[in-house]
Amino acid sequence: MLAKYIGRRLLYSIPGLIGITIIIFLALRILPGDPLAILYGEGGRENLTAADIAEIKRQLGIDRPLYIQYADWMKDVFTGKMGESFWRGDSVSELIIRRGPLTAEIAVVAVLVSWIIGLPVGILGAIKQNSMADYISRFLTIIFLAVPSFWVAILVVVVSLLAFNYRPPLGIIQIWEDPFTNLQIVLAPGIVLGLATSAYIARMARTTLLEVIRDDYVRTARAKGLPERLVVLRHALRNALLPVLTLSGVLFGLLLGGSVAVETAFTVPGLGTALVQAFTERDFVVVQNLVLLYGIIFVFVNLSIDLMYAVLDPRIRYD
Amino acid sequence: MASQADAPSQLAAPTASPLQRCQYALISGLTFCRRYPVGAVGGVLLVFISMVAAFAGLFSPHDPLYVDFLSLGAAPSAQYLLGTDYEGRDILSRIIYGGRVSLQVSVLSVLLGSTIGALWGVASAFLGGRFDIISQRVVEIVMSFPALVLAMVLLVALGGGIWTVIIAIAVTRLPYGVRVVRSVALSVKELAYVDAARAMGASNFRIMAKHIAPQCFAAYFVLATAHLGAAIVIEASLGFLGVGITPPTASWGNMLGGVIANTYKPIWWLVVFPGLAISITVLSFNLLGDALRDALDPKLRGR
Amino acid sequence: MSSMFSVKSVVSLTVSLLLVFVIACGGTAPAEPQSQAPAAPQAQDQSAATAAPAAQAAPTERPDEEPTATPFATAVPTVPPKVQAETPRLMLRAPEDNPQRGGVMQWAGLSDSPHFDMHQCNTAACAQPQGVYFDNLLRYSPFDGGKEVIPDLAYGWEVSDDGLVYTFHLREGVLFHDGAELTSEDVKATFDRIIFPPVGMISPRQSVFVAVEEIRTVDPYTVEFVLQAPRGFMPAAIANGWNVIERKQTLEDNNLDLKKLKPGTTVHPGTGPFILEDHQAGEFWKASRNPNYWNPELPYLDGIQHSHLAYGPATGAALITGRVDYVYGAGADLRDDIRQNYSDTHTVVVYPIPSIGGMFVNHESDGLSDPRVRRAISMVQDRCAIKMAVAAIREIEVGTWVVPNDPDFGALYREATLNKKPGYNCPATGDDVANAQQLLADAGYPNGDGFPTLDLMVRDINFFVSPMAPMMQAFMKQSLNINSEIRVVHTSVWQEDRDQGNYDLAVNGAPTPLASTPAYWGSWFYTGSGSNWNRGSSNPEFDALVDELIGTTDPARKEELTLQGAAILEEWTPMIFINHFTIIDGFANYLKGHGRANRVTLFNDIRFDTIWLDK
C-alpha cells in the first residue's frame, strides 16, 4: 500500500517536472542581445561574414525551430549530458558535479543548523511559555526573520577581513580531498543560511508544540502524573515535529534561493555563483540546466518529506 | 500573543450594514492596538517609513543623484548624516529614495501577485473540476522554483527596469495567493447561504464576486501583509546580485551590491545603513503581519 | 574596406614609431642589475652574446654544440644545425646567487579565458594563465619589468643592412611537451597564421605586422622574415607575449583553429616551462614544472596555480590574507593599503595598458552633432573626482588626448593635466563650468533649455555602471542642465546598439594592440576606423594630420604635429574622453627572481620561469 502510494506520488510529480522545463525553456528563448557577440568578444563579430554567423548558429543549434531545440535539450537531460556551456564549451554536467557538492554541503549545514538551533529554541519557548526565556527567544526569532541573510553574509565577510585578516580559501576543495579546508569554505555560509531558517523552525516548533500540548492525549499523559519533560519529549514533540518537517521542505526552496545570494557574498564557487555568472553572461545553456536542477531538487526534497510523513504518521491515508 | 484564540475572527459578517462595519472597524482597530502592542509598533513604524518614502523630496536632505565631488566616501557628519558613497552621493537620501523604490516594488508586486492569485484561487475553488486540477498543477510548478531564482530567470528574460522587477516578484507571490485563498474559498463554498444564492438563480460570477470573494478577504489581507517583507528581501537580493533595479536609481539592494563588488575593505556606513533599512522595514512588516494574522485568522498561524 | 586598410597601415606605422622608442629606451638605459643579473644582449651585438649568464648556468647546461638526440625520428633535423659552439647562448637564470627550487606559486586574477587560442584572443584572461605553457621567438626581459627584448627560442637574430630581412637562429633540441622537436617550420606556421590569418580567424595583432611580406625557412633552425619596408620595431612586436610559438602539426591537425583545445601534452603542446595539469573554466589553471625544459636552470617553481578572480576587491582580500602570492588587476584600495600597512611583506605595482574609457558620442544625434556641445560636456567632467570615485575598484589616469606613458609626449600630457588646460582642472573650476555653459548657449541651448534628454547607454561592467556613468550623468545635469537617462545593457546589446547607432552617448572602454599617441588616434578617432565607435564622426583635417604624423621621423615635426592634433581634438571633441586605464598588480615580497616592481605594461612578462619563492 505504501509502495503504491510512493509510486503514485512519483508519477504525479512528472507533469510538474515537465512544466518546469517548459517554463525555463520559453523564458530563456526571449533573451535580448546577440549571444554571438559575447562568444566572439569585443570587435570580433565585425570580422565575421553573414555566412560565418549562420554557420556558427548552425553549429550551436540555435537556428532550428524551438520544439526541436526543446526536444534536444530533453534528450540531453535524460542522457545526463545537459549540454555544453554556450560561452566556454564546458560540459554543464561536469560543472554540476564539481560545484554541486559545495552547495549541497552548504544546504546540509544550513538544514542542520536550522534544526539544532531552531528546535530547542522553539521547544523552550513552548514549555516555558511567556517566561523571560520565551520572550528573548521570540524576540531573536523575529529579528532573524527580518534580517536578510545575504547582508549578514556581507557583514561576516567584511568583519572577518577587517578584524581577523581572514578570508576563506580560494577555489573548490572537496570534503574528501581536504576536509579542514573544505569546511572553511562551506561552514560560514551554511551557518548564516541556517540561522535565517532556524527562526522559521523555532517559530513553527513553538506554535505546533503549544497546540499539541493542549490536545487531549497530552493532557491525559500529564494527568497520569508523568513528569512534564517526559510528556513533552515523548508525546507532544513527536506529533509537533511533523509540521516542522513539512516546513523544512518548504524552507528548502528559500534556502536554495538564499544560497545564491549568500554564496555570492562569500564568493563560494558553488552552483549559486555559477548560476549568477551564467546569468550575467547570458549563457542560457548553463542557466536552463542549473535552474532545472534547482527545481528538480526542490521537488524531490518535498516528495521525500511527504513520503517520510507517510511513514512516520500512521494517520495519513494512502489515497 | 499566541494565546488569543478568541481574537475577532468574524470580521465583516455578511449581515452587517456599512455603518456597523465602519464602527466595527474602528473598534477593532483600537482593540487591535491594545491587544497587539508589538504589531501596532510595527504598524506605526511602517506608517513612518511609508510617509518618508512617499514624501522623499521633503525628507531627504539632498538629491540622491547629486554628486558632491568634494566629499567622495565622506564619513557621517552634520552635512551628510549617514555619510556619502564613493561617488559622493548622500547615503541618507539614497536610502530614502531607495526605500521608495523598494516599497513601491514590494507593495505593487505583492498586490499584483496576491490579487491575481486570490482571484484565481476563488475561481479555482468555485469552478472545481479540471480547471481546479490544472490550476493546482501550475501553482505547484511555479512553487517548485526558489523564488529568487525564478525572479532572476524572469528578469534576465524580460530585461531590467522597475516594472519588470515588480512583475518578476509578483509571479513568485502568485501561487501563495492561489493556495491560501482557494482553501478558504473551498470552505465558504459549502456554506448554506452560497447554496441559497445559487438556488435563487445567481450567476457563477455573481456568487464568486458577491458571496465568496468577500469571505476570503481576511485571508488575502493577512497573506499579502505577510509577503510584503519577503518581497522586500527578494528585491534587495536581486539588486545585490546586480539583476534588479539598475543604477543610478538607488534601491537598498543595489546599494549593497555596488559596495561589495567594488571594494575589498568597504567603508562601514555603505554596508551597515542600507542593510539596517531593509531589516527594520521587513521587521515592521513581520510584526504587523503576525499581529494581523493572529487577530484575523488564527487558523493561518504558522503558515 | 579601403578605409579600413588605410587605418590598419596607419596603426602599424604609428606603432612602429613608438616601438622604436621603446627599444631605443631599453637600449640606452643600461640595466641596473647588470652586476648580478645576466644582462640581456642587445639586438645589435647579438652574435657576441654575453658569456656571464651562460657561465653561471654552465654546470647543468645542455651544451649547444652537442645537439640532443630526440627519441622521435621524425623530429631529427635533416640538415645539420648551424653550429655556433664558440658563442654560448643566453640562458636566463634568476639574478640571485642561490635561487631556491620548489614550491607552487598561487596567482589570482582575471583568467577565465574564453578559449585556448592565444593568437585569436584579445583579453588578458587568455594571456595571463596560458603564457606559461609556451615560449616565444623573442621575449621581453623579466628583470627590467619587460622593457628590453631578449632572445627566447631564437638565441639570436640579424638584420640585413637594408633592414628588410630579419634572420632568426633557433635553439636546437627544444622539445614540445609531446616530445617533438621545435623547427623553423613551427615558427613559420605560427607567424603565417598571425600575419596572414585564414578567413574567419581573428588576429588582433595582425596590424603590427602589415609590413611583413613573407616568412621563409632557411633550414630547420633558421627562419627569415622578409619585409616590404624597414620596421625597427619588429623584434618588439614579435616578442609580444601573445605571439606564442605553436607547433605546425597542431595547427594543421585542427584546421588552424585551437579555440577549443586546452594546452596539453599531446593535442596542443607548447614548449614552455610549465605543463598544464588541470583546468576548470572560470576557476583555475594548474601548471606543473616541465622537466624537459630547454633551459635546464628553469623554471624554479614546481608549479603555478592560476585562480580566476574578477578585477577588484576579491583579489585584494586574497593577497592580504595570504591566500595567494600574486594578484593581477587589484583595486586602488589595495594599492594604498599595501603602501601604508603591508609594505614590509608586499609590493604593489601600477602600470598602464593601451585602453581608454569614456563616453562614445553618436555624432548623428540631436544636439551632439555640434562640437560646442560636445566640448561643453567634456569640459564639465571632473576627471579627478571620477578618478577618486573609481579608485576603490581600480586605478585610472586622467585622460587627455595625449597618452601619459608615451615616451615622446608624456610631458605634453603632464602639462595638460597640471591645471593648465580648461577641462582638466581638479576639481573643475567655476571658469570651466562657466565657459562650458557659454559654449552650450552659443550652440543654441542656453542653460540647457530645449536640449533633448540623452540616451546614455552603459556596458554592464561594474566599473562603468557604478561609479563612472552616474558621475558623468551628474556632471552634465549639475553643470549644464542636460538631462540623460542611463540605460545599462549587456555587452552584446552594447555592441549591437553601437553598430546600429541606437544611442546618444555610450560608456565603455576601448583597447588597442599597442600604445602610442598616433596609434591611439588612428584607432579611435580616424574616420571609419574599426575602433572609432563615435558614429558618424569624421574630421578630414585630423585624418590628414594622423597620416602625416605616422610617416614623420623628425622629432621636432612630430611634436608639432602632436600638438596640432591635440588642439584639433580639443576643439572637435569626437568623444568624451575620461581616462586611460591602468592595471595594479600586487605580490608578496618573498617572490624573487623578477623585475616586476618596475613593470611597464601588460603581456610582456607572463612566463614566471625565473621566479622563485624565498620562504
> Searching chain C, which residue's CA lies closest to the CA of residue A56?
C200
Confidence of residue A105 (pLDDT cuts 50, 70, 90): very high
Asked if residues C332 and C395 have their Cβ atoms less than 8 Å apart, the reply is: yes
**Whether residue B120 has pLDDT greater than 80:** yes
Query: What grid cell was written down for B53?
Result: 518614502
Give the Cα separation of C302 and C253 in Å (integer): 31
Is residue A61 included in any domain, yes or no? no
CB contacts of C282 in chain A (<8 Å) are: 88, 274, 277
Is it the case that residue C574 has pLDDT exceeding 90? yes
Q: Which pLDDT does position A39 carry in this prediction?
A: 53
Consecutive H or E run containing B152: helix B147-158
Chain A residue with minimal CA distance to B263? Answer: A158
Cβ–Cβ below 8 Å for B247 and C466: yes
| Model pLDDT, residue C276 | 93
pLDDT at B142 over 60: yes
**Residue C447, phi-psi category: left (phi > 0), alpha (psi -120 to 50), beta (remainder):** left
Q: What is the mean pLDDT of residues B76-83?
A: 88
The stretch C460-470 carries a mean pLDDT of: 81
> Where is C499: in which H helix or E strand?
helix C491-500
In a domain, A200, yes or no: yes
> Using the beta-carbon criterion (under 8 Å), do B262 and C382 form an inter-chain contact?
no
Average pLDDT over residues C287-297: 91
CB pairs under 8 A between B and C: 92
Neighbours of C158 (CB within 10 A): 14
What integer pLDDT is reported at residue C405 of this predicted model? 64
The reported pLDDT for the residue numbered C49 is: 34
Q: Which pLDDT score, from 0 to 100, does residue A316 have?
A: 55
Higher pLDDT, C343 or B208: C343
Q: Which of C135-139, C550-554, C555-559 has the highest mean pLDDT?
A: C135-139
Task: Give the pLDDT confidence of B186-228 residue by residue, as tens digits.
Answer: 887 777 777 777 777 777 778 777 777 777 888 888 888 888 9
- Could B65 and C316 be called an inter-chain contact, meaning their C-beta atoms sit closer than 8 Å? no
Predicted local confidence at residue B5, as pLDDT: 38
Q: Looking at residues A217-225, what average pLDDT do you find?
A: 70
pLDDT at C16 over 60: no
Predicted local confidence at residue A229, as pLDDT: 67
Write out A179-195 in H/E/C secondary structure.
HHHHHHHHHHHHHHHHH
How far does the CA of residue C121 sit from the closest CA of chain A (Å)? 9
Residue C14 pLDDT > 80, yes or no?
no
Range of the domain at A234: 92-312
Does the structure show a pLDDT above 60 at C46?
no
Residue A79 resides in a domain: no
The answer on pLDDT for C24 being more than 90 is no
For residues C572-591, average pLDDT: 90
pLDDT of residue B85: 86
Q: Mean of the pLDDT values across residues A247-269?
A: 87
Chain C: closest CA distance from residue A172 (Å):
8
State the best of A42, A55, A276, A283 to mutate against chain C, taking most chain C CBs within 10 Å.
A42
Q: Cβ atoms within 10 A of the Cβ of A4, count?
A: 10
Q: Which residue has the higher pLDDT, C21 or C274?
A: C274
Shortest CB distance from B265 goes to which of C315, C337, C389? Answer: C337
- In whole angstroms, give the CA distance from residue C282 to residue C278: 12
Element (H, E) at C27: helix C2-28
- What pLDDT is recorded for position B28? 73
User: Residue A156 burial (CB < 10 Å; 0-12/13-18/19+)?
Assistant: middle
Q: Which residue of C has its CA nearest to A278?
A: C282
Residue of B nearest to C484 (CA): B248
A170/C460 CB distance under 8 A: no
For residue C287, give the amino acid letter.
Answer: A
Q: Is residue A73 situated within a structural domain?
A: no
Instruction: Report the residue from A16, A276, A279 with minimal CB separation from B144.
Output: A16
Exposure string for C400-415, b = 16+ CB within 10 A, e = fewer: bbbbbbbebbeebbee
**Average pLDDT, integer, range A184-202:** 92
Place C84 in a pLDDT band, splitting at 50, 70 and 90: very low
Q: Which residues of C352-375 are buried (b: 16+ CB within 10 A; e: fewer)?
A: bbbbbbbbbbbbebebbebbbbbb
pLDDT of residue C455: 93
ipTM for the predicted complex comes to 0.85
More confident residue, C322 or C264: C322
Most confident range, picked from A40-49, A73-82, B165-174, C324-333:
B165-174
Is a pLDDT exceeding 60 seen at residue C308? yes
pLDDT, tens digit (0-9, with 9 covering 90-100), for A68-95: 888 888 888 888 777 777 666 678 888 8
**Phi, psi dihedral angles at B242 (to 5 degrees):** 85, 20
Q: Is the pLDDT of residue C347 over 90?
A: yes
Lookup result for grid cell 502592542: B37
Concatenate the DSSP letters of all residues of C341-406 into one string: H-TTTEEEEEEEEEEEEEEEE-TTSTTTTSHHHHHHHHHT--HHHHHHHHTTT--EEEP-SS-TT-
**A71-91: buried (b, 16+ CB within 10 Å) or exposed (e) per residue?**
eebeebbeeeebbbbbbbebe
- C244 φ, ψ (degrees, to nearest 5): -75, 150
Question: Does the beta-carbon distance from A142 to B283 stay under 8 Å?
Answer: yes
In a domain, A297, yes or no: yes
More confident residue, C77 or C168: C168
Q: Which residue of C has its CA nearest to B69?
A: C385
Average pLDDT of the segment spanning C4-9: 45
Greater confidence, B236 or C79? B236
Residue C254 pLDDT level (bands cut at 50, 70, 90)? confident
Classify residue C151 by burial, with Cβ atoms within 10 Å: 0-12, 13-18, 19+.
buried
Q: How far apart are CA B162 and CA B145, in angstroms?
A: 22
Closest-CA distance, A22 to chain B, in angstroms, reads 10
Q: Structural domain tally of chain A?
A: 1
C-alpha cell at C264: 596539453
Residue C235 burial (CB count, 10 A): 22
- How far, in Å, CA of C83 to CA of C79, rounded? 11
Q: How many residues does chain C have?
A: 615
Residue C67, pLDDT above cutoff 50: no
Please state, in angstroms and rounded to a whole number, the distance separating the CA atoms of residues A20 and A253. 14
Q: What is the pLDDT of residue C133?
A: 93
Q: Residue C15: is its pLDDT beyond 60?
A: no
Structural domains of chain C sorted by starting position, each given as residue range(s) with its CATH number in brackets: 2-260+589-613 (3.90.76.10), 356-581 (3.10.105.10)
Contact C122 A85 (CB under 8 A): no
Q: How far apart are CA C491 and CA B134, in angstroms?
A: 40
Decide if A45 is inside a domain. Answer: no
pLDDT at residue C581 is higher than 60 = yes
Please report the number of interchain residue pairs, chain A to chain C, with beta-carbon separation below 8 angstroms.
88
CATH number reported for the structural domain that contains residue A162 in this entry: 1.10.3720.10
Query: Tens of pLDDT along C485-514?
Result: 988 887 767 777 888 888 999 998 877 666
| Contacting subunits of B (3+ beta carbon pairs below 8 A) | A, C
In a domain, A40, yes or no: no
Give the torsion sign (CA, B9, B13, B18, B19). negative
Query: Minimum mean pLDDT among A6-15, B55-64, C321-330: which range?
Result: A6-15
Most confident segment among A69-83, A100-114, B120-134: A100-114
> Greater confidence, B86 or A315?
B86
Query: How sure is the predictor about C13, in pLDDT bands with cuts at 50, 70 and 90?
Result: very low
Q: Which of A73-87, C75-89, C121-135, C334-348 has the lowest mean pLDDT?
A: C75-89
Inform me whether the pLDDT recorded for C112 exceeds 90. Answer: no
Q: Which chain A residues are closer than 8 Å to B140 by Cβ?
A: 16
Q: What is the structure's pLDDT at C514?
A: 63
Confidence of residue A216 (pLDDT cuts 50, 70, 90): low
Q: Flag the least confident range among A34-48, A277-291, C369-383, C442-456.
A: A34-48
Q: Taking CB atoms and an 8 Å cutoff, what residues of chain C touch B160? A: 488
Task: State how far the Cα of C68 lies from the Cα of C64, in Å rounded to an integer.
Answer: 8
Residue A47 has pLDDT above 60, yes or no: no
Q: Which chains touch C (3 or more CB pairs under 8 A)?
A: A, B
C329 in contact with B at a CB cutoff of 8 Å? no
- The answer to whether position A59 is within a domain reads no
